[in-house]
Amino acid sequence: MQFVSNPSISLKINEMKKRVCWQHPLISGQNINQTQVVLENGESNRQDFSFLVIGDSGTGQHRGDSPQRRMMELLLKHGEGSSFALHTGDVVYLVGSDEQYSENFIDPYREWLVGGHQPQDIAYDQMVFQFPFFPVPGNHDYYDLPWIWGLMSQVTLPLRKLFQRQFDLDVGWHGSHKGEVYAKAFLDYVQGLSDSELRQHLDTHYTSCSESEKCLRYQPGQFTRLPNRYYQFSQGGIDFFALDSNTFNAPQALPDTEAGQRLKQYLLKTRQSLMQQKTDALRAAVDIDDLEIEDTYSKVEQIEEQILDIDKQLANETEAAVDIEQLTWLKQQLIQSWQDPSARGRILFFHHPPYVTEATKWYQGQTLAVRQNLRWVLNGVQRQVGELSQGRSIVDLVINGHAHCMEYLMTGDTGHADANLNWVICGGSGFSLRRQRSEGPELTEKQEGEKRIVARSHLYIGRYGHGSQKHRPYSGLRIDVKAGTPPKIILQPLVTERFQHQWQTPVMDTIELK
């Protein structure tokens, strides 16, 4: 039995639409754009601004300490003057349960919340941010826990609390209820309101954002909800596009050919090997010492992720579920951004990275699916705005999570509109850090029968060393955007590292994007 369950893409889409009353007659009748939010912080026109980024942070206490809280303290120290924070997904581990929000999110980020001086009194579905916070959902924010595992989790809770320093398992009774918990925590969850209540809500929180449309107002300290699971906002002439990559990451069905059969056999063999590795790791956990149990937990979680990816490929669903509605929206919004003379740059952020050198991600089916779908969007935009772009990249920066590390990559000649782009992965803010792959920093694809280098990693911050020399550098990011067109963008990696039971904060060089 799998430890977690993951809803189908169509179910994720349909359930999220219900929660925000997508295109309800009262909403469409007022020309409300349910994918745009206006940040009312008094700084929307300031071209020089900064923002923070974290991701894959959602763990609670480990060994009586909280890497996530350590990271937050570093963000507070170096985030002065920042306008907002982005979160690249996996807000709460392991299965996005409401029971985990208090310890795994509210308490670590209490300074960003209204009433944060008493975090224990803040309900997960009543959070109001005094510091603007813009998340996207990660895969764990959609996961659920089969009832038998939830029961076992609660039965063993006293024992796990007794040995908390040795083994922590961030689960509750159930899970995310197919993403409902995330929606109640962050989205404008209006499902269940009567027509009169919905009308009053819209009149209160939605205002004009153009001559023809209304959109949601994000008011720090008062009302801080997002209109949808994917959305757009602007700051200082930079258009930000937040995506839900959980609904366009399904691997394509295996072809019904001889080559497809060979791939199927390879995947089945790989899955069998991974299952054995998982069994061996769990058996070995009985005899290993306190220092290694966290790494075993991380290894098992990583193997589970690889198995889930293979299962998606073997499912062979003819649906090959792709969220065309969201991808088409992104293409149209990017085209409009290029046609807007006040827009001087574009930044995308979503969970699953199309380019990554973390140990297991590059060859996963969902990595390829996300890369192909994003290329479809960017290629379409380039065809429409080629002359307007004047040789500039379609977007200035893509920010992802999912890989538990900090990484900066640049694509080369990919043969698509994602060539020569800047890519940043910020997924090392609090859970089971990962190593870089042994093959090194260059990523290759097979094109026209030959392998070509399509991307190169220029910075990788993840777990390294072995035994007593093992380092765990947790990471976040400050990004400074300067005035001008095109904008100058500067990355400042923020790192707090645990080594031999001690914490240190190495000073990292800034990176000016090309």
Quote the CA–CA distance of 429 and 69 in Å, as a whole number.
9
**Beta bridge pairs of residue 358:** 436
Residues 247 and 323 sit within 8 Å (Cβ to Cβ): yes
Residue 320 has pLDDT above 80, yes or no: no
- Terminal-residue alpha carbon distance, the chain: 47
| 271 contact partners, CB below 8 Å, separation of at least 6 | 307, 310, 311, 314
Average pLDDT value for the chain: 89
Which strand (E) or helix (H) includes residue 503? strand 502-504
Residue 272 has pLDDT above 60, yes or no: yes
The pLDDT tens digits for 489-509 are 999 999 999 999 899 999 999
pLDDT of the residue at 152 = 47
Higher pLDDT, 398 or 174: 398
Residues 85 and 165 sit within 8 Å (Cβ to Cβ): no
Residue 279 has pLDDT above 90, yes or no: no
Residue 430 has pLDDT above 70, yes or no: yes
Residues 352 and 368 sit within 8 Å (Cβ to Cβ): no
pTM exceeds cut of 0.85: yes
Quote the CA–CA distance of 355 and 86 in Å, as a whole number.
19
Measured in degrees and rounded to the nearest 5, phi and psi for residue 76 equal: -65, -35
Measured in degrees and rounded to the nearest 5, phi and psi for residue 116 equal: -65, -15
**Six-digit token string for 449:** 């029968």
The single-letter code of the amino acid at 381 is V
DSSP string across 168-232? -----SSB-TTTHHHHHHHB---TT--HHHHHHHHHHHEEESSSS-EEEEEBTTTB--BSSSSEE
How crowded is the C-beta side of 306, counted as CA atoms within 13 Å? Answer: 24
Quote the CA–CA distance of 278 and 292 in Å, as a whole number.
15
**Lookup result for tokens 């801080």:** 224
Residues 65 and 108 sit within 8 Å (Cβ to Cβ): no
DSSP string across 117-157? TSGGG--GGG--BSS-EEE---GGGT-B--HHHHHHHHHTH
Quote the CA–CA distance of 131 and 86 in Å, as a whole number.
11
Choose among 495, 452, 455, 223: nearest CA to 353: 455
The pLDDT tens digits for 459-485 are 999 999 988 899 999 999 999 999 999
Quote the CA–CA distance of 238 and 11 in Å, as a whole number.
33
The pLDDT tens digits for 371-411 are 999 999 999 999 999 888 888 999 999 999 999 999 999 99
Q: What is the DSSP letter of 358?
A: B
Residues 393 and 421 sit within 8 Å (Cβ to Cβ): yes
For residue 492, the SS3 value is strand
The single-letter code of the amino acid at 405 is C
Residue 286 has pLDDT above 90, yes or no: no
Quote the CA–CA distance of 203 and 205 in Å, as a whole number.
6
Residues 299 and 288 sit within 8 Å (Cβ to Cβ): no
DSSP string across 432-474? ---PBPTT-SEEEEEETTEEEEEEEEEEEE--B--GGG-EEEE
Domains of the chain listed by start with CATH number: 9-253+317-431+451-512 (3.60.21.10), 258-313 (no CATH)
Pairing of strands 49-54, 442-447: unpaired
pLDDT of the residue at 243 = 99
**Six-digit token string for 150:** 């939830």
For residue 257, the SS3 value is coil
**Six-digit token string for 381:** 């935009």
**Six-digit token string for 408:** 């900066």
Q: pLDDT class for 369, splitting at 50, 70, 90?
A: very high
Quote the CA–CA distance of 230 and 245 in Å, as a whole number.
9
Q: Which of 127-131, 206-210, 324-328 is the least confident region? A: 206-210
pLDDT of the residue at 216 = 98
Cβ neighbour number for residue 119 with a 10 Å cutoff: 17
**Lookup result for tokens 């998982």:** 278
Quote the CA–CA distance of 186 and 163 in Å, as a whole number.
33
Higher pLDDT, 242 or 296: 242
**Six-digit token string for 71:** 């990271």
Cβ neighbour number for residue 277 with a 10 Å cutoff: 16
pLDDT of the residue at 138 = 98
Q: Which of 267-276, 282-291, 329-338 has the highest mean pLDDT?
A: 329-338
Sign of CA dihedral 317, 140, 224, 184: positive
Residue 290 has pLDDT above 70, yes or no: no
Q: How far is CA 251 from the centre of its chain?
A: 18
The pLDDT tens digits for 152-163 are 444 444 433 433
